[in-house]
Structure 1
Amino acid sequence: MIHDYLSLSILLFCLGILGVISRRNVFTVFMSVELMLNAANLAFIALARLHENMDGHVLAMLVMAVAAAEAALALAVVILLHKHTGKVDTNVFSLLKG
């Protein structure tokens, strides 16, 4: 049973990595990062159930808090990027250096 959850977690994490590497749209990249964070949450909770303690649940809550902060920052960056360039591709991030 635990192997099913961990296999699903690994599959979701690999799909997230594939999405980050292969896509150019900022929204798709951020959705892929969120998918990787959710895969980590699934692994934390599955392993916590296996060891019958609450450490994995606490880590999952911490990851959710980090994901919420990351989503807020990502939205601000995307709005700034769209305001300056009119595009939301990752290729135009070099324009934000100055």
Structure 2
Amino acid sequence: MVPIAYYLVLAAILFSIGAGAFLIKRNVITIFMSIELMLNAVNLTFVAFAHMWHQISGQIFVFFVMVVAAAEAAVGLAIIIALFRVRQTLNVDQVNLLKN
């Protein structure tokens, strides 16, 4: 059996990669993927603790987080596509919707 510390270290690494990419990258798609990576790292911790405590509630919570993340992905990608059609770029520095 794998100790829970391994899962927590993996989740911390995934979350750190996602947070680092979120802060460094300038592409909207990369930022969006970084947010999804951080959500999945948190889901991994929920599943690890639910397995450790033999509770199903953590896994149910992960299910709801995944449903919200899927809805967020659909809406987020629609916004990104609309943004690209208007501005012809996905660079965060070049996108300014308050100016014409």
| TM-score normalized with structure 1 length | 0.93
Instruction: Deviation per CA, 1:32-56: give whole Å up to 9, x if none.
Output: 1110011011000000011110111
Distance 1:27 1:96 in 2: 21
Do the aligned residues in 2 keep the contact of 1:24 with 1:91 (CA within 8 Å)?
A: yes
Question: Residue 76 of structure 1: CA displacement?
Answer: 1.0
Larger proportion of helix: 1
Distance 2:24 2:53 in 1: 36
Match of 2:14 among 4, 12, 15: 12
Distance 2:29 2:81 in 1: 11
Aligned CA-pair RMSD: 1.5
Q: Which amino acid aligns with 2:69?
A: A
Name stretches of at least 5 consecutive residues in structure 1 with no aligned partner: none
Q: Which amino acid aligns with 1:40?
A: V
* Percent identity of paired positions between Structure 1 and Structure 2: 43
The list of structure 1 runs, each at least 4 consecutive aligned residues, that deviate by more than 2 angstroms after superposition, is: 91-94
Identify the residue that residue 96 of structure 2 maps to in structure 1. Answer: 94
Instruction: Count matched residues.
Output: 98
Match of 2:45 among 43, 46, 53: 43
Identify the residue that residue 66 of structure 2 maps to in structure 1. Answer: 64
